[in-house]
Amino acid sequence: MPYRICKTLEIENGHMLTHHPDKCRFPHGHSRKVEVVIEADELDAGGMVCDFKIVKDAVGDYLDTFDHALCINTQDPMFETLQAAYGERVIPFVDTEPTTEVLARTFFDEIARHLLTYAARTDTSYKLRPSVRLIKVRLWETSSSWAEYEA
């Protein structure tokens, strides 16, 4: 059985669900927890799957792009107005509702890519072995609700 670790990062993130029948169609925010679960069949020389700092170093800047930003479907009638007003703090989801489920998948795909990039680097004090795998991302929307995506 493989060894697993989980690193949790937090962001304040807003979204609006254009096709939602109730309040979620309006801009609103969440204090989100992003749980990144990584595994390896064997521990490294230091007795770890990897150092927790690697996860933060590898994906922290990416997740920061979502912090205090609004995720919005490009079909929303206010998309262009909001993007013109707030620029990069409005994150477009092309013809897609930015639900927590969709965000979990988006985060999974990008975190996997960032970890591969980090593993290939030679300029870091902390090394990430290529055999370390991203297993899942769990994204909390509220203290009692989450969605996850796994490979």
The rounded distance, in Å, linking the Cα atoms of 100 and 33 is 11
Residues of the chain above pLDDT 70, percent: 100
- Confidence band for 1, pLDDT divided at 50, 70 and 90: confident
Structure tokens of 122? 């030679």
Question: How crowded is the C-beta side of 70, counted as CA atoms within 13 Å?
Answer: 23
Query: What is the pLDDT of the chain when averaged over all its residues?
Result: 97
> Cβ distance 24 to 142 under 8 Å?
no
> Exposed (0-12), middle (13-18) or buried (19+): which is 122, by Cβ within 10 Å?
exposed
pLDDT, tens only, 55-68:
999 999 999 999 99
What's the pLDDT at 151? 87
| pTM to 2 decimal places | 0.96
Please name the amino acid found at residue 120. Answer: A
- What is the mean pLDDT of the segment spanning 42-57? 97
Architecture in CATH for domain 3-150: 2-Layer Sandwich (3.30)
- What is the mean pLDDT of the segment spanning 130-144? 97
| DSSP result, 113-135 | HHHHHHHH-SS-SS---TT-EEE
pLDDT, tens only, 88-104:
999 999 999 999 999 99
